[in-house]
Amino acid sequence: MIHAMIGKKKGMTQVFSEDGSCVPVTVIEAELCKVVQVKTDESDGYSALQIGFSQTTEKRAGKPRAGHLKKAGLEPMRRLMEIRLDSVEGYEMGQAIKMEDIFVEGESVDVRGTSKGRGFAGTIKRHNFQRGDVTHGGMAVRRPGAIGQCASPSRVFKGKRMAGHMGNRKLTVRNLKIVRVDPENGYLLVRGAVPGPVNGEIVISKTKKGVRVPKYKTG
């Protein structure tokens, strides 16, 4: 059975549980995903489903992708994702995948997305370094300080925390509890924060204890 789908982060809010406690949640718009291609051991050497998400125009999708989707009788879509399964029996091209058929309230999910890009950042913002003295003539206020070694080994060790590009990385937050499934409005509420900006695309998958998060092929 399929265990993941693509969605959009719509922002954060809060809901109240039955005992009156306030629960911070992220609202995920889990639109209908469509099966674009069914891959089997006989035809492709492995079993997988290729699903599409977020309908768009042919110009934005590109002719190769639009032609590929037309084989399944679907409109051009912005994003495609491949999910490997043990068996693809019961799935067919053009079939709709609904979130209520995959997720239930109370279970845990993993959410994967691309974090916000912060550009080039210094050590204080990027690594929470402390600031230098601003009194008694101190001039190294936001400078990182010395980074090199002495004559031996006379080089900078790899992994040294320094200024550089911050954010814009693929991140996965594991074991987020589903607080509410709202199929009428197409929303999924999960407890806690997920990576990415508002309207950023994310992948929601069921948490498997003791199993590493799979690397989904997206395009």
Confidence of residue 209 (pLDDT cuts 50, 70, 90): low
- Tens digit of pLDDT for each residue in 10-67? 999 999 988 889 999 999 998 788 899 899 898 889 999 999 888 888 888 888 888 8
3-state helix, strand, coil in the chain (%, to 5): 10, 40, 50
Under CATH, to which class is 9-30+103-116+168-208 assigned?
A: mainly beta
- Tens digit of pLDDT for each residue in 67-101? 888 888 888 888 889 988 888 888 888 888 888 88
Looking at 26-78, list the stretches that DSSP marks H as alpha helix, in order from N- to C-terminal side.
Answer: 41-44, 58-61, 63-70
Question: What pLDDT is stored for residue 31 in this prediction?
Answer: 76
pTM: 0.81
Stretch(es) of the chain classified as CATH 3.30.160.810? 33-97
- Tens digit of pLDDT for each residue in 108-150? 999 999 999 999 999 999 999 999 888 998 888 999 988 888 8
Share of the chain above pLDDT 70, in %: 95
Stretch(es) of the chain classified as CATH 2.40.30.10? 9-30+103-116+168-208
Question: What pLDDT is stored for residue 190 in this prediction?
Answer: 95
CA distance 140 to 124: 12
Question: What pLDDT is stored for residue 172 in this prediction?
Answer: 93
Q: Considering the chain, what is the average pLDDT of its residues?
A: 88
CA distance 207 to 107: 8
Listed residue (8, 11, 3, 17) closest to 179, CA to CA: 17
CA distance 62 to 70: 12
Q: Is the Cα torsion angle 103, 108, 114, 115 positive or negative in sign? A: positive
198, pLDDT greater than 90: yes
> What is the fold, at CATH topology level, of the domain defined by 33-97?
Double Stranded RNA Binding Domain (3.30.160)
Q: Report helix, strand or coil for 180.
A: strand
Half-sphere CA count of 61, side-chain side, radius 13 A: 22
